[in-house]
Amino acid sequence: MAHRLCPSRRPLAWLLRGLLAGLGGLVLVNLLFAGAGEELLSWLLTLFLGGGRAVLPADPPLPGPGAFLIPNLDACGPRAPFLLVLVASAPGHVAQRQAVRASWGGVRRAAGYPVQTLFALGAPGSGEEQAQLEQEAQRHGDLVQGRFADTYANLTLKTMMLLGWAAAHCPGAAFLAKVDDDVFLNLPALARHLGALPSPHRLYLGRIHWRVWPDRAPSSRHHVPASAYPVGAFPPYCSGTAYVLSADTALWVLGAAPHVPPVPLEDVYVGLCAHWAGLPPTHTAHMAGSTHYPLDPCCYGEVLYSVHEVGPQAMGAAWALVEGEGEACTPLQRALGVLRCKVLALLQDL
């Protein structure tokens, strides 16, 4: 004789089924929207786009001392750091640089790894500003200045300059991180992630932009003429707010530069050079790209590696969340990870 479920136990069974279904749905949503799906896609990219021109250029073009107003050739020191952070800044962004120095940019070890932060910029519009920059360089010893006008149109030139400087004067660094000066960097979390990688080679890591088409409007700040890039969408590339290159990838990008027509969008150009070299980007949802997140202890303290649009006054508060005692996330917050941080970012815009 078949046994029937006692009526009084049916609500409990339904509740358990509902909880399991809800948990399964939450896991699926987290997988799809917290970046795991994108990271899987970026892994698949390595199968289809990997390989290619895998011959490291024997003599990539590197800038000589004459290419710099402030060369700072010895800034890397006698022992190169594990991670060299190169912050793209502008001559007038003194407050931004000082905020970085007073927070994450002032540390020399992160998660047990040696790190170093330098600022890269071009020439200002006046001799008075240049004199102030030279005083700043003498005071802090962390400026590298190229001999070109610091304009938006020269961002690509600035990025290639800082990569060339690193390759020539800090070749022992395992990884290079390029970030903007309004980006908060969780150095311990990023260094820990890089140190756990199975190999320190062929890495181009960041928040990937997919299927971005050139802006053909001549009046646009992001105008890309057909003469510079005549085909359709750009190949996948990492957001210029923050990305990481392994030392060999930086050399490949520099070696590809003579073969890739320059475009004024520096992150697109680095992506085009990496694509030419057969190096697909690796996506991580932990780098925020252009998304700004509210100051949340869990998001800033553990989950995210980079956050965009963090002003000078907020930079110290964000770093305090990393240095805070105890764990920043509860077990549930840690399980939700990037998904929870994304929801917080959406809620702040409502």
Contact 194, 114 (CB under 8 A): no
Mark 40-58 as b/e (b = at least 16 C-beta within 10 Å).
eebeebeeebeeeeeeebe
Contact 80, 93 (CB under 8 A): no
Q: Which whole-number Å values give the CA distances from 35 to 29, 70, 345, in the listed order? A: 10, 40, 15
Longest CA–CA separation in the chain, Å: 97
The DSSP bridge pattern shows strands 143-149 and 113-123 to be parallel
| Lowest-pLDDT range of 46-55, 205-214, 237-246 | 46-55
Q: In terms of CATH architecture, what is 48-283?
A: Alpha-Beta Complex (3.90)
pLDDT digits (tens, 9 = 90+) for 76-108: 988 999 999 999 999 999 999 999 999 999 999
Taking Cα atoms as reference points, which of 187, 308, 303, 191 lies closest to residue 240?
308
Rounded Cα distance between 112 and 132, Å, is 35
- By the 10 Å C-beta count (0-12 exposed, 13-18 middle, 19+ buried), 292 is classed as middle
Strands (E), 39-126: 68-70, 83-88, 109-110, 113-123
Phi/psi for 115 (5° steps) reads -135, 160
pLDDT digits (tens, 9 = 90+) for 62-81: 888 789 999 999 999 889 99
Mean pLDDT of 254-269: 92
Regarding predicted confidence, which is higher, 133 or 54? 133
The DSSP bridge pattern shows strands 175-180 and 204-209 to be unpaired
Rounded Cα distance between 69 and 63, Å, is 12
pLDDT band at 345 (very low <50, low <70, confident <90, very high): very high
Taking Cα atoms as reference points, which of 174, 167, 172, 177 lies closest to residue 86?
177
Beta-bridge mates of residue 121 = 145
pLDDT digits (tens, 9 = 90+) for 19-43: 444 444 444 444 444 445 555 555 5
Mean pLDDT of 255-277: 93
pLDDT digits (tens, 9 = 90+) for 276-328: 999 999 999 999 898 999 999 999 999 999 999 999 999 999 999 999 877 88
Residue 196's CB is within 10 A of a number of other CB atoms, namely 8
pLDDT for residue 6 is more than 60:
no
Q: What are the domain boundaries of the chain?
A: 48-283
pLDDT digits (tens, 9 = 90+) for 188-233: 999 999 999 999 999 999 999 988 999 999 889 888 989 889 888 9
Q: Would you state the torsion angle of the CA atoms of residues 49, 55, 61, 62, taken in this order, to the nearest 10 degrees? A: 90
Per cent of the chain over pLDDT 90 is 71
